[in-house]
Chain A
Amino acid sequence: MVSYQKFTLENGLRVLVHEDHNTAMACVNILYDVGARDESPEQTGFAHLFEHLMFGGSVNIPNFDTELQKVGGENNAFTSNDITNYYITLPSSNLETALWLESDRMLSLAFSPQSLEVQRNVVSEEFKQRYLNQPYGDAWLKLRPLAYKVHPYRWATIGKELKHIEDATMADVKAFFKLHYNPQSAIMVISGDVYYDEVKSLVEKWFADIEPGQKYHRQLPQEPVQQELRRETAFAPVPLDALYMAFHGPARLEEGYFAMDLLSDILSRGSSSRLYRRLVKGEQVFSELNAYVMGSIDNNLFVIEGKPSEGITLEEAERAIWGELDLLKKELVSETELEKVKNKIESTNVFAELSILDKAMNLAFHELLGDANGINTEVSRYLAVTAEEVQRQARAIFNPENASILMYKAQEEEIRHVG
């Protein structure tokens, strides 16, 4: 059970406080309600580039990182297709420093041209390191536009291409800040060795005078229902073929989301899961195989990815997966199997409560979804799922006309054997 208290400043900033005095640290987590889905198709990768720029100095404080390190703190951030999330952990005695720093960059950035120039390079190198210079690194750059035709989920957070990042201008940066970085779009969670009253007065001190800014109204094109099977074959100098299958499924807040998530656990969680047991170990069709749900706020994807064993073609591998998916549509999962995946959800939830940072991030995300208390009630929603609902979801999701299949083929001649 994660207990918390909430207040909202007049400028719209929502603040949640969770006390945990088992640690001497505090955590300040700020979620900005902006992600890659809010980008223009001509300027993809911008939300993530912007995240880097948030460390390039704010209007009154030239160096964010140094000031934090001086008081023993650490920080980082991530951008997803839905949100941008910043976090600081530091000794709780210096909590105020974190609030000083975060409030100043919410007030305004320094918009330093040097920072923009350098971070464009850094992000380009990140693009190369994670997506271009890695075997299979670009698979998602191909799979997203195959699965999504209209919704901005069709591009990855890093962006469609390097050029979009290289072309970012200071005017773009300023406009993005104005549109998305203000108290109304932010949720702040403070957790750890802190006391509510003290936190409240410090937050008021540093954040109350920030202008509320304009409210951003999100209007994203919704993905139309997929009507037919989509296929793509890619060739790359990789040692092994790989298979990616993506199916549309319920959004994070829609009915059926929890049943879909349990389906991925039945198929792929732990070494007793079906895909591992039968297709990796038993029939040995795959050398590795995983299934997971993206957890997106809008139209979701259920993804299966794997590498067939030597001598198995991608077509044979795909057939074997359909066999397992059809089984889930045809037969109810047993009570024991369902209980097994539910037990894992329960215990994992206990592990997640060990970390003040995890708790802060989860509280912020649930608040964004509409109710921070979701952090405490979500497990019971998993536990309430029945075998029939699992089957209903399997029947709704695992159909060829709902599938996008990427066959990633090895171009053998380009591989040099080493080792």
Chain B
Amino acid sequence: MLDRTKAPEFREIAHISLKEPVKKQFANGLPVYVFHSPEQELVRIEWIFENKYLDEQNENPLLNSALCALLKEGTTTMSSAEIADKVDFYGAFLVPEYSFDVTSLSLYTLNRHSKVLLPLVKDILTEASIPQEELNTYLRNNKQKFQVSIQKNDYLARRKFYNLIFGENNRYGRTPKLDDYDAINREQLTTLYRKEIAPNNCTLIVSGNVSNDLINELEQIFGFEWQRPEAAALAGSPILTQQSKGLAYEEKENALQSAIRLGSQTISRTHPDYPALQFVNTLLGGFFGSRLMRNIREEKGYTYSIGSAVATLKHTGFLTIATEVGVDVTNATLVEIEKEINLLKTTLASEEEVDLVKTYMEGSLLGSLESIFSHADKFKSVLLNDMSLTYYSYYMEQIKNMTPEKVRDIADKYLDFEQMVKVVVGRFNQFEPIHQAVVN
């Protein structure tokens, strides 16, 4: 008779092995990393550029995202429509992406079409014309989208959070205002394009079925034919200012829910404690079985979702806890979050809970390696911080070595509710702020 109360025996999780890329360097100095998987029908080619700024003292955060969006909106020989037609006709995807530290252009295509599309990408990277009319359209549509975004409480909370933890004169902390769109002109974008979109500021990552033919083709077009600009690009380190602490409250009279976001700057991936901090974060709010989810969603039903995250940027890291809760439990949620953080700092977690988080994190890392593209993604993450794939062995080792004592010590060292920035956009039912407001 089957005993359904007893779980099947646990079996060790397969060893995690990451695929190392083959590294090359093209004639113009462009570093190239190749992840080859011959059974794939697809290839992904990514040109990754570090973000540069025209004025380091006063960064307009929209300039880089505008440049990114306008890359494929026209070159000296092709219109925006012609580019779009060609990419779509071959069933490919050409995706420009902007993040705090890098701008990238990724081409996803079936192997057989890659050659036709490479000259088009070369054109985009060397001859983009950033047409005024396309810029106008971009600005007009994004101003509209912006007006919708600022009606969303979670968007407003996130903006305010970044302003407060990083300060407002740098790429991480300055969030767009409506006026910023009007301040963008074509000349600035063209200057930025020349500085930033160049082989000496680029890394090429090629994954999927990468034939020798393709490599040769890439080398011809992006190695021999792609010239370095004369002037070196700016180093561009953001100047991070002291973060604020305390409560920032923006009242929304008719809100049904409050968006809550809190956290602080913290260590980045380069710090030896980073994996351990990731562990503590996971236990606190990083997965469905975390303490915050169990307490605030699964026991109290205050929210549809609550989560915490530790994220790495190029020049710093940050910790954030975010949720949207019914307005009647805004304050109660803050109280519970504080309680959970303090509990971690003062009381030992059970061995069982620590073991569960370990296994969960191992499974989650294994599960994140689904195809050759995910191996390339892992590499990309560490490359941002000038680290190598050995980081992941260190990471796994640190996770395996976690103990209840280590969890408490790391929590005590890096989590401090008192010092965190707390943002609430929405409503307190009975207005009893737990900390004095610093901003409105």
Contacts and interface: CB of A to CB of B under 8 A. Distances in A.
Interface in A78-115: 89-94, 96-97, 100, 103-104, 107
B313 interface: no
A301 B151 CA distance: 29
Given A129-B304, A270-B84, A287-B145, A72 B362 contact: yes
B363 A73 contact: yes
Interface stretch (A62-70, A218-226, A380-388, A393-401): A62-70
B2 interface: yes
A70 B10 CA distance: 8
B156 interface: yes
B109 A347 contact: yes
B288 A129 contact: no
A22 interface: yes
B371 A239 contact: no
A269 to B, nearest CB: 8
A93 B301 contact: no
B4 A240 contact: no
B13 A133 contact: no
A2 B207 CA distance: 22
B8 A65 contact: no
A244 B130 CA distance: 33
Nearest to A162: B256
A89 B364 CA distance: 9
Contacts of A65: 288-289
Contact of B152 (A61, A135, A270): A135
Contacts of A123: 304
B80 A66 contact: no
Interface string B13-29: 11000000000000000
A346 B150 CA distance: 38
Contacts of B152: 134-135
Given A133-B257, A307-B144, A60 B4 contact: yes
A300 B363 CA distance: 39
Contacts of A284: 137, 140
Interface in B335-367: 355-356, 359-360, 362-364, 366-367
B148 interface: yes
Contact of A25 (B176, B304, B367, B373): B367
Give the interface size bracket for B toward A: 35 or more
Nearest to A284: B137
Contact of B141 (A96, A272, A287): A287
A125 B298 CA distance: 12
Interface stretch (A142-150, A322-330, A350-358): A350-358
A90 to B, nearest CB: 6
B7 A22 contact: no
Contacts of A253: none
Interface string B106-138: 001110000000000000000000000000010
Q: Interface on chain B toward A: helix, strand, loop, or mixed SS?
A: mixed
Nearest to B363: A72
B153 interface: yes
Interface residues of A, number: 85
A125 B150 contact: no
B91 A97 contact: no
A333 to B, nearest CB: 14
A211 interface: no
A310 interface: yes
Given A25-B370, A72-B360, A340-B88, 17 more contacts: A23-B369, A60-B4, A60-B5, A66-B289, A71-B359, A72-B362, A74-B360, A91-B14, A91-B366, A97-B10, A120-B301, A125-B257, A129-B257, A240-B147, A270-B87, A287-B144, A346-B91
What are the 6 closest A-B residue pairs judged by CB atoms, nearest first?
A72-B363, A121-B301, A347-B91, A343-B91, A272-B84, A126-B304
28 contacts: A25-B367, A60-B4, A60-B5, A61-B4, A61-B5, A66-B289, A66-B356, A69-B289, A72-B13, A74-B367, A90-B367, A94-B8, A96-B8, A97-B8, A118-B297, A125-B324, A125-B325, A129-B305, A133-B153, A133-B255, A133-B324, A240-B147, A269-B88, A271-B72, A340-B88, A346-B91, A346-B110, A347-B92
